[in-house]
Amino acid sequence: MPSCIFCKIISDEAPADILYRDERVTAFRDIHPIASTHILIVPNKHIVSVNEVTPEDETLLGYLFTIAKEIAKQENVAESGYKLIVNTGPDAGQVVFHLHMHLIGGRRIRTR
Ligand code: AMP
Ligand code: ZN
């Protein structure tokens, strides 16, 4: 998706602090972190939001949790705790319409 900032990061056309990348998923630091650890875990496939998920995406979306767990360990928040958040649509404040999971940790966070 040419106009999508996350597709550009995934294809190296835009810069990001990339922590992990493979053929299915890319993870990079959020440019406006709300906690000391704030990482975005993004499927390389352009899925607009949870509303566009199909059954064929189930394995890919489950894999986001596997990567989240590994990154939480690397970032030393596995034991102290972290949140995994997927915003969907305007009322949730979704601003990038390429599905992504926020991994937020490093202090007590009150977002729900
Ligand atoms: P949301 O769509 O509300 O789930 O959040 C999108 C997130 O992407 C926000 O936390 C932004 O700070 C973050 N973001 C937007 N553009 C970039 C970028 N170029 N690199 C890293 N993070 C970004
Ligand atoms: Zn995209």
Give the architecture-level CATH label for domain 5-105.
2-Layer Sandwich (3.30)
Domain borders along the chain are: 5-105
Residue nearest to atom 18 of ligand 1 (CA): 31
Instruction: Please check the confidence at residue 109 and state whether its pLDDT lies above 90.
Output: no
Give residue-wise pLDDT tens across range 22-59.
999 999 999 999 999 999 999 999 999 999 999 999 99
Q: How far apart are CA 54 and CA 29, in angstroms?
A: 27
Do 102 and 84 touch, CB atoms closer than 8 A? yes
Is 110 a residue whose pLDDT tops 90?
no
- pLDDT tens digits for range 2-26: 899 999 999 999 999 999 999 999 9
| Model pLDDT for residues 70-98, shown as the tens digit of each residue | 999 999 999 999 999 999 999 999 999 99
CA of 30 to the centre of ligand 1 (A): 6
